[in-house]
Amino acid sequence: MNITVEVKADKELLEVLTAIKNALTVDKQAEVKSMTLDEFVEDPVKETYQYTLEAVRAKLTELSRAGKRAEVNELIKSYGVSKLTDLPEEHYTDIMKKAGEL
């Protein structure tokens, strides 16, 4: 099944939607939590949502391919690890937020 959605929005919203798309396309097992539009606008990345390693990897790979490999490597190292697979899960949401700022 294919679903096509055209969104005309600011950069931050598009980044959130891209992260969701990446999570769903990379990890078919990803759990999708529903929320009302008011909740989404109030806090687009709920603390209860936990990104998967695959979603984080997809986002960082996308940035690396866009010419930001050095920034991605520095971002990973800023957490005291040398590779993404060593990053503790509790930092996934934070690294996705920082990746969206690159």
Q: Note the pLDDT tens digit of each residue in 18-70.
A: 777 766 655 444 455 555 666 555 555 545 567 888 889 999 999 999 999 99
In this prediction the pTM is: 0.53
Q: Locate 17 and state its tokens.
A: 């939607």
Is the pLDDT assigned to residue 86 strictly greater than 70? yes
Q: Return the pLDDT at 6.
A: 66
Is the pLDDT assigned to residue 87 strictly greater than 80? yes
| Average pLDDT score over residue span 13-18 | 74
Greatest Cα-to-Cα distance within the chain, rounded to the nearest angstrom:
41
